[in-house]
Each structure stands twice: as structure tokens, then as C-alpha cells.
Structure 1
């Protein structure tokens, strides 16, 4: 039995203990209203209940109970205009009702009985909240919106536990934006939670427009192109981060969370990896990592080969390369920079224009410009193929911020390749490895589990092992509870033996 299970059993001893456990979170509300001479206590999660139904219940009790005579607490159940309302004295039933979005009404003079009123609503949730930048074929498509209350509602609908703690912080001297910090008590390390809260409270900024700004303001290193916190608009990714021991942050008006501490390999993990069999999930994850490496070094390798290292190219291929470059008046460096810049122009224009126009511009513009560049002898066919594949491979990363970092790093590596060839590429690679090994995310190593080496965490890094092997949480997070689950082995039975 882990720490969370033991704590949950203790919370079920009495109704006051249940309410005290729920009160640890800032989105748990307690209102005391005197109705018909009875001091009533209304307890609920404001991120789960429908505020309109709450007003209806309170108004109905006030309107029908103002008679001048004393009313017994059980008689109030008759005045609640919502079906399936009931009375109970079981603490486990009260806990389950609170986590499902019910209103719990108690009388402070008669604490043994409580009234449960179901009022789960979908207030403020837009009909189309599918993810736009993190699309997946398999799995839920639930994304976040620009309302903080709705986003917290979506998280609580997936994690129905009192250990999910929400802390609200006000950030922005002019905007006074609400920022919510989420973590699972008993799993997340208190040092990570405290460090995140201290950094958010130490922000002195005027207006917070999006959670991505908080990402930059609380980062351990502001001079790196690599994102140090995972940014996501998917609910399942945030829930997975919370149950592994990470801390999640979102600001009001933003449709995305940031989670941390994060590692470099978190940006190559897709939720689809866990919805597919482990062999397929591992294969597609390796494809993403290979695609990023190809996107980062392919154009630079072409420049190095065409400038310094003709001797390593096979004779059959060398003849083709020479024939494609015979009429090109520019050196390989300017040729590669021209094409890479053109690709970036098309990509930025396609992202800023409306969807239909942007898609047309990307396809038609790329074909026309590529064909015209070859006919005008401004570039070679081989480099167009390499640059196109590099641009395509840069999109295999599930997190958009990491894709931007890869796009940026291609240019200095091409410059190094034009100066010193393969030695320049090696210098760039060494610089990247040293830089990555020095980075930290919320104080944790960014290159974990490879630096420092953690063998137990390797089974969910480059590959995704089966669920029978991934029963523990990552050790670099230093969670309070290492055991996630205990899978039972299914013993197949032969129906012929039964006969």
C-alpha cells in the first residue's frame, strides 16, 4: 500500500475529516447561511458545480423556508427543487459526492446528517474544445479553453481525488491575472511545489497574457532556445504529468498548461505512445527522435560534404551531385541558407494566413518556388529534397516549442559546417550536449535519465516499455510515492482443459 492509499483511508473516518481534506485546495468553497433559524453550511468544489444551479438551490431554500417557524434540517430536503437529492451520514458517500460535483449541505447544530444535491454542470465549456496543435489519431481529443474555471473543471473531472490540490496566485501588477498551481499531494515532491510557488510569487510583471509568458519568467535559464517546461493543451498530458509527480501551472485567459520539472525526452513523448501497444509506441517515439536529428543535421551535412569532404561520397552519387551543381553559381552555404530561409518564409506565412489560404500558399508556393529556383540555377535538386525533408521532420515533435528550437538551431550548425566541415558539425554537437547537460528544469536535470544516469527510468525515455515494466514513477521527480500501480498478470485459461 502506498502513501496515497493510506491517507485516503484516514480521510474516510468522518465527514469533518472529509471536508478538512477537501479544504486544502483553493477551489473548495464553504459558505454559511442561516435559513429558517438553522446555520447551514454549503460545501462544494466551485470548479465542478454549476453556479446557476447553486443559486437556484439557495434561492429556493430562502424563499420557501421564511415562514417564521423553526424547520427541522431533514425537512429542507423537500424544498430542494433538484431531483436525486438525498440525505446521508456516510463519510465515504459524502466524499464521492463532492468529487462528482455535488453540493453538500450540513447543519452546524446537527452534524450527523448531510444533504447531497447533484449539480454537475458544463458551465462555460464551449462545444468545440478539440486540441489544435497537438492532434492525435488515437485517444481523447479534449483540450483546454481560455477560461480558468473550465480548465480546472476538466482536470477535476479526470482526477476525482481530494489529493488534487489547486493553489491560486495573483500575478501581474496591471492585469491581476489568476494563476493556478496544481499538484497531487502525496505524490508530488513538496520541494518542487514550493519552488514553483516561490517563483510565481516573485514575478513582477505588468500584464500576463498567456501561460507561455510564465514559462519564460520562471525558467531556470533564460538564455537557452530549448523550452524548460512542457507546454500542452491536452488534458490527458496534464493528468499524466500530475500522476507522475509533476507540478502544473495555468493562467486565466490561456488555453494551455505548463508542467515541470521536465526533461528533454518529455518533448518527444506523445499521448498516443500509451494508447498503442508498447512495441508500436516505442517505434514511433524512435521515429520522432530520428526525425529531429535528421532535421537538425541534414542540411549542415550536405554543406560539409559539398565544401570539404568530396572523398567520402560514393562515386555513383558524386557524379549526380556534381551534375546538379554545375550551373549553380553560389557556394553550398549560401545555397542552403537561401532554401532554409525560403522554407521559413513559407511556414510563417502559412501560419499567419487563414487556414485555406495558408495551405494553398504552402503547397503551391513551395512547388512553384522550388521549380523556379532549380530552373534559374539558384539551387540543386538534391538540396531541395534535403531541405524539404528537414522541414517535414521538424514537425514530428509533439510540442510546438521544441519544434521552434530545432528550426532555430539548424542555421548556426550550417554556418559551422561551412567553416570547418564535419569538424564544425562535431563542435556544434558537443556544444549542444554540454549546454543540455547544464540545463535544469525547476532545479532538476534536463538530460535525465541519461545525465545523471538513472537506469530505472530508461524504460520510458527513448522507448516505452510495457505497462508491466513501467510501474514506478520517474526518480528524477523525487516523488513521495514511487509505486504507480501493481499490475496483475492475467493467467490465460485453455477452454479445452475445462471441458
Structure 2
């Protein structure tokens, strides 16, 4: 491959560097992209080693031996050489040789490993994934030093190929789940992927649904727990989030911290999250429906307080509630998009100032301010950002139904929501498990978190090859001996 051909294939890129050995038209040339490869390897290792050889007489075999390059690094086609260079390699070309050498290198700057920011950690490892695929694989390998951990590398994207890694424990996972993931990725016919979130939308069972059917996490302990249960992990180059599937709706309200706490505390936290989800969906719609159609349901003392609070409000309860919900969403979005310190100020000060000003201006009542704030706060309790966002969106049609049909509208909304969830699947498996189909034995790690000694069976939802996580009888015998 000569210099003109290299520039032709790389579209005359400005970061292509060509090093000649010994003389301007030297017999050995080194090609690399200065923005990707580590130049110190070229000048501190490769060139000094090559200068020790009589380059005008030796062949490619002697160069290969001198550099200590494996035969797997041989490159026979120009296209392959360019592809290796785009993926950080340094290409060594010997004039007249049948093949060249691609030496791996990485001069890119990556983010250092830090604590999770989206999924906060109370107890457990203070470590999160980064944007580099190999670093993420290293993290998982470090915490799972087992030969049963299988790694399949796939490529997706016709114009801009992106590396995708599929991980699973081959002695536990259901092969059908692996085949489903592999088939959906291989059948993709798109130009490129930029993130695991985009990939999740392509391979999900129902892309029109608001509910996520694949877990996204930046926490290695959640991924390791999922792999041990029989889930399949999908890692994408350039994304700090890992996909886990199949999954159920209940798993979006579970946190890895649940397994670090005592079972009573973990169970209490899970029940609180379920209660918060229902509260977030029902609180504002019930307020609207009650004030619009069902005054008789309100106690007399509370009705008097409501009447006094709404005496200056010119809007009906429906428009009043929608106005406040929209303001809350505007504050939330502004706080998320602004820099961290400014965003916190907007969220706290803006909420207090705007809320007080709206009440004084007579646009809303104090009671609705409290209700909307509680509903918004409840939606943030979910450990998963995706499911929290889904709950906030669903709250708007529920408010509209409550304002138009009253209690019947709320019942109709919940009926439609239940029928939709019962039809959903995750990689072909029922999304509402263990509620549908009913499996009471799996409730001990669903709605509640039973003592760890009781979780000796893996979740049947994943159809694992090994049903038992540990031998319960031997564990009990050991405990009796120790006592």
C-alpha cells in the first residue's frame, strides 16, 4: 500500500501520518492516524527496533520476528489495513511483501472510572461503566473470574460499524434468549448506532410502548447479578450503559442495594417504591375527579378548606392540574439540562418562587401544589430513570380521563394500562411475570426480598439451565454444625 493509495482510502484525511525508515523512499513505511494511535509506540518501540535490521535486504518475515508480532496481525488487503488503522492500529508495510502488519495501539483519551451518577449507590461497589468497551469488559471479568462467562463480539451498522459485545454464563443462561438477542442484532439494517439506548429501541419487542423492556444500567453489580440469574448483557462501544434482558416490570423497581441491606429493610424499600408508583399515577387524577364530579366523597371539614383554597382560582380543576404538572416538568427538564450547580438552584429556588407566586396570583390552590409536588417526588423514587419518566408521561392522560369522566375515567385508564402491560413481552417472555402468569414462588424476590437463605432457587422467568443457586440442605447442615 503506497502513500497515495492510503490517502485515497482515507479520503485525504489530515491526521494520516506516514513514517519512512532510513531514507525518504525507504523500503519500510509505517502508517497510522495521529488522533487514534499512540505515537510513542512508533517512535520509542517500532522505529528503534526496525533500525537494527538491514531493511534493504530483509523481508517481511524478519520484520515480523523483530517486532514480535503474532501471525494473526497479518493484513493482506488494502481495505483491511485501512479498517485496522481506523480501529487504532499501526500498519507496517514492507515494499514487495505479500502482506503487511497491523500492530494494535490506543492513543485515545478516555474517561476514568468513577462512581455511578445516574444510579446512586448507598451500599456496594462505588464503580460505574465508562464509554470504552474493553474497559467495561475488564470490569465484568474482574468481578466474574469464571470460564463459564462467554463473550460474543458482533458488529452492527452498515456505514459506521460499531462493536457490540454479548455476555452470558453459558452454564446458566437459556440458549433461546441468547439466540434471540444475537438474531435481532444481526438482522439490523441501519447505518450506525451511537448508544445502547438506541440499540435498545431497535431490538425491543414493542418500540411503540412507553414501557422499557430492557434494563439499562451503569452499575457492574447489577449486571453481574443479572448474569448470575440467567440474563443476557449487551455492551456497546461508546456507551457507559449496559442492556440486560429479558426483564420484568417489577425489576425496574428493584435496586442492587436491596441485596446489601437486611431483608426487612429491603422489603420495606420495595413496597415503598410500588406505593410511590401508584401514588404518582393516582394522586393528581383523584384530586381532579373528586373536585369535578364527586364532591360528596370529600369530608365536610376538608371540603371547607378546599373551597377556601380554590376561592380565587379562575380555572376548573382539570386545567389547574395540567398547568401545575407542566410547570413541574419544565422545572425538571431545565434542572437536567443546565450545569449541575445551576440546575440544582433552578430546581429548588425556581420551584419555591414560582409556586408561591402562582398561589398568590390565584392561578392555583395550596392543596394542589402539595399534591403535584408529592406526585412528582414519588416518580423519582424508582431506581430506573426510564420507568420514572414513563410514569410521569402516563400521569397526563390519566389526568385528562379524570377531568372528562371522573372516577370512571380513572378506572378506564387503569384498565387500558393493565391490558397493555399484560400484552408486553421482553425478548419473547411475559413482561408482567410473576403476576402473569402467576408464580407465587417467585414473589419472594419480586414484591418483597426474602432472606438470602430463602433465595436458593433462580428466577424461573429466565428459564435457567441450573435451577439452584446453592444447595440449601448443605448450607443448613453447616449452619447447624457451627451452632
**TM-score normalized by the length of structure 2:** 0.76
Query: How far 1:456 moved relative to its partner?
Result: 1.6
The 8 Å contact of residues 182 and 249 in structure 1, kept in 2 or not, is answered as yes
Instruction: Summarize the alignment of residues 120-139 of structure 1 with structure 2, pairs less than 5 Å apart.
Output: 126-139=111-124
Q: Would you say 1:385 and 2:374 are equivalent positions? A: no
Which consecutive segments of 4 or more residues in structure 1 shift more than 3 A?
123-128, 491-494
CA RMSD of aligned residues (A): 2.2
Match of 2:427 in 1: 442
CA distance in 1, matches of 2:389, 2:261: 27
Q: Is the 8 A contact 1:125 1:150 kept in 2?
A: no
Q: What SS does structure 2 have at the residue aligned with 1:259? A: strand
2:390 to 405, 412, 415: 405
1:147 aligns with 2:132: yes
Q: 2:249 aligns with which of 253, 264, 271?
A: 264
Q: Deviations over 1:416-466 (max 9, x none)?
A: 000111110000011111100000000000000110011221111100011
Structure 1 residue matching 2:452: 3-state secondary structure: coil
User: Paired residue for 1:250?
Assistant: 235
CA distance in 1, matches of 2:399, 2:208: 21
- In 2: Cα distance, 1:127 partner to 1:263 partner: 32
Query: d(CA) in 2 for partners of 1:337 and 1:142?
Result: 40
Q: CA deviation at 1:336?
A: 0.4
SS at match of 1:165: strand
Distance 1:449 1:396 in 2: 22
CA contact (8 A) 1:124 1:147 kept: no
Question: How far 1:174 sits from its partner (Å)?
Answer: 1.9
User: 1:140 and 1:322 mapped to 2: Cα distance?
Assistant: 52
Query: Residue 111 of structure 2 contacts residue 131 of structure 2 at CA under 8 Å; is this kept in 1?
Result: no
Structure 1 unaligned runs (5+)? 1-50, 67-122, 495-499
**Per-residue deviation, residues 153-194 of structure 1 (Å, max 9, x unmatched):** 000001111110111111111220000111100100000000
Maintained 8 Å contact 2:277/2:378: yes
Q: Which residue of 1 aligns with 2:172?
A: 187
Deviations 1:48-70 (A, max 9, x none): xxx9xx99xx99xx99xx9xxxx
Match of 2:312 among 307, 327, 352: 327
- Is residue 461 of structure 2 the alignment partner of residue 476 of structure 1? yes
Q: TM-score, with normalisation over the residues of structure 1?
A: 0.74
- Judge conservation of contact 2:113–2:130 (CA < 8 Å) in 1: no
Inter-partner Cα distance in structure 2 for 1:250 and 1:362:
33
SS of 2:433's equivalent in the other structure is coil
SS in 2 for 1:166: strand
Select which of 259, 268, 287 maps to 1:302: 287
2:141 maps to 1:156: yes
SS in 2 for 1:459: helix
Distance in 2 (CA, whole Å) between partners of 1:351 and 1:126 is 21
Q: Pick from 421, 431, 445: which aligns with 2:406?
A: 421
Counterparts of 1:45-194 in structure 2, within 5 Å, are: 126-194=111-179
* Residue in structure 1 matched with residue 184 of structure 2 by the alignment: 199
Partner of 1:336: 321
Matched, 1:278 2:263: yes
Q: Distance in 2 between matches of 1:363 and 1:306?
A: 29
> Aligned residue for 1:214?
199
Partner of residue 240 from structure 1, selected from 225, 232, 241: 225
- The 8 Å contact of residues 124 and 150 in structure 1, kept in 2 or not, is answered as no
Q: 1:431 aligns with which of 401, 416, 419?
A: 416
Query: Per-residue displacement from partner, 1:238-260 (whole Å, max 9, x unpaired)?
Result: 00000000101011000000100
> In 2, Cα distance between the equivalents of 1:250 and 1:191?
19
**Contact 2:132/2:240 (8 A) holds in 1:** yes
> Which consecutive residues of structure 2, in runs of 5 or more, have no partner in the other structure?
1-37, 54-107
Q: Is the 8 A contact 1:155 1:235 kept in 2?
A: yes
